[in-house]
Chains A and B, each alone.
Chain A
Amino acid sequence: NAGVTQTPKFRILKIGQSMTLQCTQDMNHNYMYWYRQDPGMGLKLIYYSVGAGITDKGEVPNGYNVSRSTTEDFPLRLELAAPSQTSVYFCASSYSMNTEAFFGQGTRLTVV
Chain B
Amino acid sequence: ELKVEQNPLFLSMQEEKNYTIYCNYSTTSDRLYWYRQDPGKSLESLFVLLSNGAVKQEGRLMASLDTKARLSTLHITAAVHDLSATYFCAVDGGSNQFYFGTGTSLTVIP
Contact = CB atoms under 8 A, between A and B. Distances in A.
A101 B102 contact: no
Given A42-B103, A43-B88, A98-B48, A50 B42 contact: no
B43 A31 contact: no
Interface in B3-54: 4, 31, 33, 41-45, 48, 50
B33 A101 contact: yes
Interface residues of B, number: 23
Contacts of A40: 102-103
B96 A100 contact: no
Contact of B42 (A41, A45, A48, A105): A105
Contacts of A45: 97-99
A58 interface: yes
Which 6 A-B pairs have CB atoms at the shortest separation, nearest pair first?
A: A42-B100, A100-B45, A43-B100, A103-B43, A103-B42, A42-B102
Interface of B: 1, 4, 31, 33, 41-45, 48, 50, 88, 90, 92, 95-103
Given A45-B97, A98-B50, 7 more contacts: A43-B100, A45-B99, A59-B97, A99-B48, A100-B33, A102-B45, A103-B42
